[in-house]
Amino acid sequence: MKLWDWNRVLSFFTFEWQKKLIALGISALIFYYVNSLSFVEQSFTLPIQYRNLPVGEVIVEPTEEKVTIHVKGRAEKVRELETGRSIMPVVDLEHAVLGISNYRIELEINTPKPDMTFNLSREFVPVKVDQTMSATVPVKPSLVGTPREGFLVDEIQLDHKQVIVSGPSETVLLATNGVETSPIDISDVTNDLEQNAELRLPENLELLTRDPIRIRIRVTQKTVPDWKTNL
């Protein structure tokens, strides 16, 4: 490019540059304003809030935990939304019935948003409701491995042979046959063992017995019959 061409370009930017800068700023403001008036659609996936479940009843897993909400409105307003606070999907379980039923999902909009529409990806959600109950169930020690050759488990003692559990009735009833302890390894042992035992509770089951469960495993050496010692 020739020198005089560079001078022309330079003069374009330097001549009345204040006016050109102001015009550029105004153009940017107009662009931002027009863009804020444009309508956009955005989707949010939010956790469902389950409310007003009657006392003595419990939601049995699995159930739907989230739902997608489609929001349409001015771009600026959509960006300002605080999901989880401004909008919240809610299921009212005040009149829940036992078993599996479909319940309507309602949108709770805490901040009025004019010129905006909200649509749920689904209107209903299946929820399984059960009664809660408690029961006393036996504890079943769970041993893995075997003692060293020549030794055997002679006796197993538990501080608590039974514990009280609570949860959905169907889960509690299945547990009446007993709940197992976490596996206790007795591989290659030659001496007695004593330790606290954790319980492997089924999902949704709560242990109401708070005292630790102490287990004692008595290991003894096998006796050799007299007739064998005389061989």
Q: What is the pLDDT of residue 3?
A: 46
Residue 9 CB contacts under 8 Å (≥ 6 apart), including other chains: none
Q: Is residue 191 part of a domain?
A: yes
Check: CB of residue 60 under 8 Å from CB of residue 128: yes
Question: Which of residues 93, 122, 151 is at a domain's end?
Answer: 122
Is it true that the peptide bond before 147 is cis, omega within 30 degrees of 0?
Answer: no
Q: What is the CATH number of the domain that holds 80?
A: 2.170.120.30
Q: Is residue 158 part of a domain?
A: yes
- Kindly write down the DSSP assignment for every residue of 51-91, as one continuous string: E-PPTTEEEESP---EEEEEEEEEHHHHHH--BTTTEEEEE
Residue 40 CA to residue 13 CA, distance in Å, equals 37
Q: Is residue 18 part of a domain?
A: no
Could you tell me the residue range of the domain that residue 45 belongs to? 37-122
Q: What is the CATH number of the domain that holds 214?
A: 2.170.120.40
Question: Which of residues 122, 149, 164 is at a domain's end?
Answer: 122
Its pTM stands at 0.64
- pLDDT digit string, tens, across residues 164-193: 999 999 999 988 999 999 999 999 999 999
Report the mean per-residue pLDDT for the chain.
82
Instruction: Please indicate, yes or no, whether residues 59 and 113 belong to a single structural domain of this protein.
Output: yes
Instruction: Please indicate, yes or no, whether residues 80 and 155 belong to a single structural domain of this protein.
Output: no
Instruction: Please indicate, yes or no, whether residues 96 and 153 belong to a single structural domain of this protein.
Output: no
Question: Which of residues 103, 122, 141 is at a domain's end?
Answer: 122
Cα separation values, 135 from 163, 177, 182, 193, 200, Å = 8, 11, 20, 29, 16
Q: What is the pLDDT of residue 109?
A: 83
Closest CA to 105 of 131, 127, 130, 78: 127
- pLDDT digit string, tens, across residues 209-221: 888 899 999 999 9
Q: How many domains does the chain have?
A: 2
Mean pLDDT by 10 residues, the chain (231 residues): 52 58 64 62 88 93 84 75 75 93 90 76 93 95 93 92 94 91 93 93 89 93 64 54
Instruction: Please indicate, yes or no, whether residues 170 and 197 belong to a single structural domain of this protein.
Output: yes
